[in-house]
Amino acid sequence: MTTSEELRKRREKEAVRIRTSLNRLRGEQRASIKGGESAVAFVEERSCIGCDQCTIVCDDMAIEVYKVPMASPLIKVESNQKAKILRADCTGCRLCVLACPTDAISMIDR
Ligand code: SF4
Ligand code: SF4
């Protein structure tokens, strides 16, 4: 019979394996995205759900959000938000591309 201590150790080992694998995947993904001084991030407005993930990861304060009117038959809200890149401040680091859950951000030539 498995003891709780054995189970805890197995879970810890599994967590390390998953973390390592995700970090490797992120590294590979990041390497495949164009970036650097010659690139700048771009947000496709219709794909942006205003979740704020990109503003959290951007160390260069190069993303701001703005309100857009919204009409929904399901929920009572007057506006949603969308993200916008401040081109002059964007360093092309690509972090926002990796953070965006809807793939709304891509890197384009500066
Ligand atoms: S590429 Fe980097 S610096 Fe530019 S907006 Fe995205 S996270 Fe900010
Ligand atoms: S992470 Fe993507 S979906 Fe979320 S606010 Fe930024 S651009 Fe929009």
* Ligand 2 centroid distance, CA of 47 (Å): 8
Which amino acid is residue 97, in one-letter code? V
Q: What does the pLDDT read at residue 19? A: 82
pTM of the predicted protein model: 0.75
pLDDT value of residue 70:
82
Residue to probe by mutation, ligand 1, list 94, 98, 109, 110, most atoms within 8 Å of CB: 94
Residues sharing a CB contact under 8 Å with residue 106, sequence separation 6 or more, in sequence order: 41, 42, 44, 97
pLDDT at 44: 96
Residue 31: its H or E element: helix 4-32
Alpha-carbon distance of 93 to 86, in angstroms, equals: 13
The protein residue with its alpha carbon nearest to ligand 1, atom 3, reads 90
Ligand 2 pocket residue status of 53, Cβ below 6 Å: yes
The pLDDT of residue 64 is 96
Q: How, if at all, do strands 79-85 and 63-69 pair?
A: antiparallel
Q: What is the pLDDT of residue 42?
A: 97
**How far is Cα 88 from Cα 96, in angstroms, rounded to an integer?**
16
Query: Token digits for 84?
Result: 């916008």
- For every residue of 73-99, which 3-state class applies, written as one string? CCCCCCEEEEEEECCCCCCCCCHHHHH
Q: How far apart are the first and last CA of the chain?
A: 61
Regarding the beta carbon of 93 and ligand 1, being less than 6 Å apart is answered yes
Mutate which of 53, 81, 97 for ligand 2 pocket (most atoms within 8 A of beta carbon): 53
| Residues paired with residue 42 on neighbouring β-strands, in sequence order | 106
Local confidence pLDDT in tens for the 110 residues of the chain: 788 888 899 988 888 888 888 777 777 777 788 888 899 999 999 999 999 999 999 999 999 999 998 877 887 878 889 999 999 999 999 999 999 999 999 999 99
